[in-house]
Copies of this chain bind each other. A is one copy, B any other.
């Protein structure tokens, strides 16, 4: 008898699962301009386009309710969804929210979750226009689908980076990752303790970066006002190494980034050293930064730097040069993404 093969998903590698699932997808509607493969899909509206993206968070994987306040979780869920619209250089407009609700979730807990979602929507000018709720046997599930709108020519894809373009990021990196580590440490330390009092002194910034990431609509607005159009852009969610590789893969180019130009917050470095974690690993592979990584033409260098909102960390090269991290002593290290974690 023939045995059915059973392949573990982890064997597919960094881009393998998405490639496998999306490669067979067909396009049947002329309005589908861009399907899977970028931060959001692009749908034809005539002069304008609509952007569409979906994001799921599951309890125990993407959040731990023992320390993640529901109001913050609601806020973050919206920001995550909307960030993929921003990363296409579009104006976010509507979201729909589907929830899988476990038995332990009370009405008050849902109220707090929605309060956080509405708070984020208010900041971002977005409407929650619908949703779905189902029960969940094991843990809360939050799925946010966001729409946005842009002029067709304004959409920025991952695939537009060209040789000599500058590589820019909108904030220091690794802080959210260290915030998560801090929360996990205090949870471990205080396990079984009555009236636990976690020690977060001096690390409030890291917690905020993890629990309440801010969407960087303001940076996009500033770029627009200065007439700077990014050539490629991506939401920094999987870590700089992985997300830069996504841009290089889509744009068929290489990249050189310079370690000493990658901003790392003082709190990130301090806690990383305290916890025997390399702060560079936190910055390169930590993930959950939810900042924007984008490229601009070389001639925009002065304009971009004058904004004061962006760090230029390197430049785009020819594809055969690879994706390289240059250390302060001039050594070049090929950037690999973290082990595949879906």
Determine if B58 and A134 form an interchain contact, defined as CB atoms under 8 angstroms apart.
Answer: yes
A118-148 Cβ-contact flags toward B at 8 Å (1 or 0)? 1001100111111111111111010101010
User: Is A110's CB within 8 Å of the partner chain B?
Assistant: yes
- From DSSP, what is the main secondary structure of chain A's interface residues? mixed
Determine if A32 and B129 form an interchain contact, defined as CB atoms under 8 angstroms apart.
Answer: yes
Q: Please classify how large the interface on chain A is, using the bins under 10, 10 to 19, 20 to 34, 35 or more.
A: 35 or more
| Residues on the B chain within 8 Å of A108, using CB | 4-7
Known contacts A52-B96, A141-B141; 15 further A-B pairs (Cβ under 8 A): A9-B107, A18-B133, A20-B110, A22-B128, A28-B122, A31-B93, A52-B129, A54-B132, A56-B143, A58-B141, A61-B135, A135-B341, A135-B342, A138-B139, A143-B143
| Residues on the B chain within 8 Å of A75, using CB | none
A327-342 Cβ-contact flags toward B at 8 Å (1 or 0)? 0000000000000011
Determine if B132 and A55 form an interchain contact, defined as CB atoms under 8 angstroms apart.
Answer: yes
A80-104 Cβ-contact flags toward B at 8 Å (1 or 0)? 0000000000000110111111000
Determine if A35 and B130 form an interchain contact, defined as CB atoms under 8 angstroms apart.
Answer: yes
Chain A positions 9-37 with a Cβ under 8 Å from a chain B Cβ: 9, 11-12, 17-18, 20-22, 24-29, 31-32, 34-36
Shortest Cβ distance from residue A239 to the other chain B in the assembled complex, whole angstroms = 15
